[in-house]
Amino acid sequence: MRILVIGSGAREHALVRALLADPSVTQVIAAPGNAGIAADVPVHPLDVADPAAAAALAAALAPDLVVIGPEVPLVAGAADAIRAYGIPVFGPSAAAARLEGSKAFAKEVMAAAGVPTAAARVCTTDDALATALHEFGAPYVVKDDGLAAGKGVVVTQDVDEALAHGSHCLARGGTVVVEEYLDGPEVSLFVLTDGSTAMPLLPAQDFKRAADGDLGPNTGGMGAYAPLPWAPPDLVEDIVEAVAEPTIHEMARRGTPFVGVLYCGLALTSRGLRVVEFNCRFGDPEVQAVLALLDSPLSALLLAAARGELATAEAPRWRSGAAVNVVVAAQGYPQAPVAGDPVEGLAPAAAVPGASVLHAGTAVDGQGRIVTSGGRVLSVVGTGPDLQAARAVAYEALDLLQIRGSHHRRDIADPARMAGRP
């Protein structure tokens, strides 16, 4: 089987590596990829925001399956454009990707499907924003309605900061969602679906804040681990029954079936589980940890979802043990990442037993050096018999890397920080 992977992050590098390890995959091609992906497989240039360009590339390469990694091409309609050529695609249509593309739409679908989530008000004026903030009280949760690469949400005790963020989004012509605050630990569960059958992967936890102790601004994600030793035993089953299946059925009922991976971001609150967000693709950095534990072929699962055959597909098998992914971010991330700094120590880091180094924002410069080219530069994944062993492996590898001014969290999968949130 020949597979084209679209995207350029560590999520796509993890997908490429998992597919290369799959005996039924004869070739993996990526577009546009990054320096690390290009070292593993052939890559083609691509503007991922241009669905016609993605479809033209897919038609020219004629793969057996296209896997679309990021949300931007999905929300823009890349899956529709590629399917129009008769090529199977793992990833939802633009109509289904609205579950991530609009938080207000996701709330509407959840209400119709009876899925538990935070109470919310959709605001289009500063007056409505102020009223909603007053109604819910502190801590305030204010979300940009559209795509914001994980940075559109402000959670704060400070009403002025909440008002300022909301006003800023409104001033750009957007819509704002104000929500009730959800307490309790967060969980990410990826549920593969062909539009009717739900097949969950391992639950994971993401660390979204930039700094140790869950301080600093929200980011695209600074690290993750799987599985969750503290989770209740029936957590996955509960999420599938209460969240994934009703949502998948509601999307099908609307004539916009969701095909791909429904990323269920949840809070396990004192009042039960609640959806924090849906995404229409695998989570980054969580999927790097989840795929490090996959012990059965990935291509069969993705193809079965793309073809509507998940009901008869074999469920994934998992290695025992755990995986921890620590993200190395460029100087200035998330506000203003600095590009062009050399990345040193890649070979010794990758040689640490149990470690793998996945690339995200990397490129090759004019002198042939690997340099930073984005906010999240690398994902360093450690595996081991348990989380503490996996964590030690990840940090041992990470400490062999040198990137001027880079930063990372030291407390990913730290037992003291694993489930909690301030």
* Interacting residues with ligand GLY (CB under 6 A): 150, 206, 221, 279, 283-284, 286
Q: How far is the CB of 408 from ligand AMP (least distance, A)?
A: 19
145 binds ligand AMP (CB under 6 A): no
CA dist 239 and 243 (Å) reads 5
179 binds ligand AMP (CB under 6 A): yes
Handedness of CA 113, 94, 257, 220 (dihedral sign): negative
**Contact, 46 vs 66, CB < 8 A?**
no
186 binds, among ligand AMP, ligand GLY, none (CB under 5 to 8 A by kind): ligand AMP
Q: Which is nearer to ligand AMP, 150 or 332 (CB)?
A: 150
**Contact, 10 vs 35, CB < 8 A?**
no
Q: Which residue's Cβ lies closest to ligand GLY? A: 283
Buried-exposed string 278-301: b where 16+ CB fall within 10 A, e elsewhere = bbbbbbbbbbbbbbbbbeebbbbb
The answer for residues whose C-beta is within 8 angstroms of residue 255's C-beta and 6 or more apart is none
Q: Count residues binding ligand AMP (CB under 6 A).
A: 15
Instruction: Please name every residue paired with 177 in a beta bridge, in sequence order, or none if there are none.
Output: 122, 143
196 binds, among ligand GLY, ligand AMP, none (CB under 5 to 8 A by kind): none
Q: Which is nearer to ligand AMP, 27 or 175 (CB)?
A: 175
The 3-state DSSP class for residue 239 equals: helix
- Residues numbered 274-333 forming contacts with ligand AMP, rule: CB under 6 A: 276-277
Q: Which is nearer to ligand AMP, 80 or 179 (CB)?
A: 179
x/- letters, 202..221, toward ligand AMP (CB under 6 A): ------x---------x---
Going from the C-alpha of 420 to that of each of 220, 232, 414, the distances in angstroms are 19, 15, 11
153 binds, among ligand AMP, ligand GLY, none (CB under 5 to 8 A by kind): ligand AMP
Q: Which is nearer to ligand AMP, 178 or 355 (CB)?
A: 178
CA dist 80 and 386 (Å) reads 41
CA dist 271 and 13 (Å) reads 38
Helix axes 126-136, 159-171, angle to 10 degrees: 150
Q: Which is nearer to ligand AMP, 208 or 359 (CB)?
A: 208
Backbone angles phi, psi at 404, to 5 degrees: -55, 125
182 binds ligand AMP (CB under 6 A): yes
Binding site for ligand AMP (CB under 6 A): 118, 141, 143, 150, 153, 155, 179, 181-182, 186, 208, 218, 265, 276-277
